[in-house]
Amino acid sequence: LIPHKHVTLRVSVKAQSGDPDIFICNRHINPNLNEHTWKSQGTGDDTVTIHPDDPMFYPGAFYIGIYSVYDSSFQLCARYVRQRVKATQMEVLEGDGFVQVRDRLGEADLRRRFCRNGAGFLEQLESPRSLHLTPRQTSPSQSPSRGPHRVPYR
């Protein structure tokens, strides 16, 4: 059972006799040649390494199937290694940050009102962080519902 997304899973089979192959799946409880997500079918010892950036990797149960054409004996080792999560560089803000948060919330609220009324919906959808003003507004502080304070577009 993999507890969270920030791990690398490594499954290895050391063949003592025969040629065992590894099949791993996180969707089917009996992974095999036809139903598997990851596999290793090399000759002799096999290893499958699943990294957290794999699009099919998600936390939960992982099922392992070992198959061989002929009788085999083997040693199975499965382990996961926790990955360090790297935090991105934080933007240094001057002051207490309240002004920046208030401005961002105001922009988001303006985009929400545009989308609710259908004005500029596609433009807002394609670039959700940019502000598209309607031709009748000159700044984000003038919302469509403020009436007589609108200035014509130049």
* Whole-number Å distance between alpha carbons of 69 and 13: 15
Q: Taking the chain, what is the end-to-end CA distance rounded to the nearest angstrom?
A: 62
Residue 132 pLDDT: 47
pLDDT (tens, 9 = 90+) of the chain, 154 residues, equals: 788 888 999 999 999 999 999 999 998 999 999 999 999 999 989 999 999 889 999 889 999 999 999 999 999 999 998 887 776 776 665 666 677 788 888 888 877 777 666 655 556 555 545 444 444 444 444 444 444 444 444 4
pLDDT number for residue 102:
84
* pLDDT score of 104: 83
Other beta carbons within 10 angstroms of residue 67's beta carbon come to 16
Provide the 8-state DSSP code for 75. E
Residue 99 has a pLDDT of 79
CA 132 to chain centroid, in Å, comes to 28
Contact (Cβ atoms closer than 8 angstroms) between residue 83 and residue 9: no
The answer to whether 1 and 54 have CB atoms below 8 angstroms apart is no
